Copies of this chain bind each other. A is one copy, B any other.
């Protein structure tokens, strides 16, 4: 057992060092040599854990996604908060707000990283879908929602958001604002929620 724990620790050490380098030097300018120097390990040890720099980046994305999902789950489970608020806060909690998060967001938006971007979003959607579906089911039970297909409807809302509110969706500030208002109204309709209930919650939480 001891060896296994050490391997996991070593792996995290490499990821920590790589994260710091990616943020300070940038991903492109960081070499695997830089990472070796920083963690003070031999090349063989690095390759035992990761096949390539890209492999490290993928592991980093998984780590960020896991922590976002864990944060979302904690928010979603706090039953002292009304459901509509919890839904809004759960979705907001998915916004990346660390240095390494921002660096990786910039990276995956480069054209050559389109596949990585897709994978990152897919894994995030898969992680958050059951959490939000549970909230929609709760709302159905409370009688504030009326959704026949909770999982599919939640999926529709999430998938649309990941594209339409992605940072590289080019548009003017006005059309962006209009899209947000339309999304809130449309979400109310899809959830069978009272007209204006979601918009009211947004105003309360963010104004």
Main secondary structure, interface of A, reads helix
Among A18-26, A86-94, A157-165, A199-207, the one that faces the other chain is A157-165
Q: Which residues of B contact A47 (CB under 8 A)?
A: none
| Nearest neighbor of A156 in chain B, beta-carbon distance | B160
Q: How large is the interface on A (under 10, 10 to 19, 20 to 34, 35 or more residues)?
A: 20 to 34
Q: Which residues of B contact A164 (CB under 8 A)?
A: 155-156, 159
Instruction: Known A160-B160, A164-B159; judge A186-B153 contact (CB<8 A).
Output: yes
- Tell me whether B148 and A185 are in contact (CB under 8 A): yes
A114 and B108 alpha carbons, distance in the complex (Å): 12
Q: Which residues of B contact A112 (CB under 8 A)?
A: 115
Which residue numbers of A lie inside 8 Å of B, CB to CB?
111-112, 114-115, 118, 148-149, 152-153, 155-156, 159-160, 163-164, 178-179, 181-183, 185-186, 189-190, 192
- Tell me whether B114 and A152 are in contact (CB under 8 A): no
20 interchain pairs (CB within 8 A)? A111-B115, A112-B115, A114-B115, A114-B118, A149-B178, A149-B181, A149-B182, A149-B185, A149-B186, A152-B179, A152-B182, A153-B182, A156-B164, A156-B183, A159-B163, A159-B164, A160-B160, A186-B190, A189-B190, A189-B192
Q: Give the distance to chain B from A108, nearest Cβ to Cβ, in Å.
A: 11
Known contacts A152-B183, A156-B186, A160-B160; 7 additional CB pairs below 8 A are A118-B118, A149-B185, A153-B186, A155-B164, A159-B160, A159-B164, A163-B163
